Structure 1
């Protein structure tokens, strides 16, 4: 892996240099855009692209999107004055993928299940006895499904 800065590395290939320049321009526009936003709103959105006078911004949820749409021209005009030829603002909600369902990763051995079963038979406290019974039903039920 090279320890050269990206700007030095990208000079070796014209396409990579163009891509690096475009990415840096978007990051600059993103910073300029976020400076115009009130409060913490800038933390919940990001500039996606800028093409043909249209600034596309991704909002992290529909509430942020609605707020950005309301700001519309109050953000477009200052950006234009800063040298960005923005004519329109389009806000899109960035869909968040659902969190993956985690499978059961913990398994009790047969010896462990037998030890819990013996303990459940000897314990007098009904709350603890029921909890152990539930644990045993859960783990033995899972084993039967395999």
Structure 2
């Protein structure tokens, strides 16, 4: 891994430099946009891009999208006064993908199952006994 700053690489490639500048501009606009939002609403959305004067914002759910649409011009006008070339706001709901199902990554050997089974029979603490039995139910074939 290189220890050079990003500017070391972007200075050598015009396309990479342009892409980096565009990304930094969007991040700066995102911060300015979120400062205008009430409460913790800014945590639930992000600026996507600007298209022809239209600020496109992704909302994490439809409730957040509705609140942002209600704010409309009250966030676009201050941004325009700050020098951003904006005339309107478009809010899109960005669906969150379902969480992947975790595959079982650990299994006990037959000897391990036998040892836990003996321990469950011999332990006196009912909480530990119950936990060991639950573990065995999960791992027995």
- Which TM-score applies when normalising by structure 2? 0.79
Give the match for residue 36 of structure 2. 36
Give the match for residue 4 of structure 2. 4
Q: What CA distance in whole angstroms lies between the structure 2 residues aligned with 1:10 and 1:69?
A: 37
Kindly state the Cα deviation for residue 104 of structure 1 after the two structures are TM-superposed.
Answer: 2.4
Q: What CA distance in whole angstroms lies between the structure 2 residues aligned with 1:16 and 1:27?
A: 16
Q: What CA distance in whole angstroms lies between the structure 2 residues aligned with 1:113 and 1:94?
A: 45
Give the match for residue 85 of structure 1. 85
Give the match for residue 65 of structure 1. 65
Q: Deviations over 1:94-124 (max 9, x none)?
A: 2212112122233222223334555666789
Q: What CA distance in whole angstroms lies between the structure 2 residues aligned with 1:123 and 1:6?
A: 58
Q: Deviations over 1:47-101 (max 9, x none)?
A: 1111211111111222211111110111111111111121121111222121121
Structure 2 alignment gaps of length 5 or more: none
Size of the aligned set, in residue pairs, is 141
RMSD: 2.8
Kindly state the Cα deviation for residue 134 of structure 1 after the two structures are TM-superposed.
Answer: 5.8
Mapped contact 1:57–1:90 kept (Cα < 8 A): yes
- Which TM-score applies when normalising by structure 1? 0.77
Q: Secondary structure at the match of 1:103?
A: coil
Q: What CA distance in whole angstroms lies between the structure 1 residues aligned with 2:100 and 2:34?
A: 31
Q: Secondary structure at the match of 1:18?
A: helix
TM-aligned CA distance change 1:2 to 1:122, over 3 Å: closer
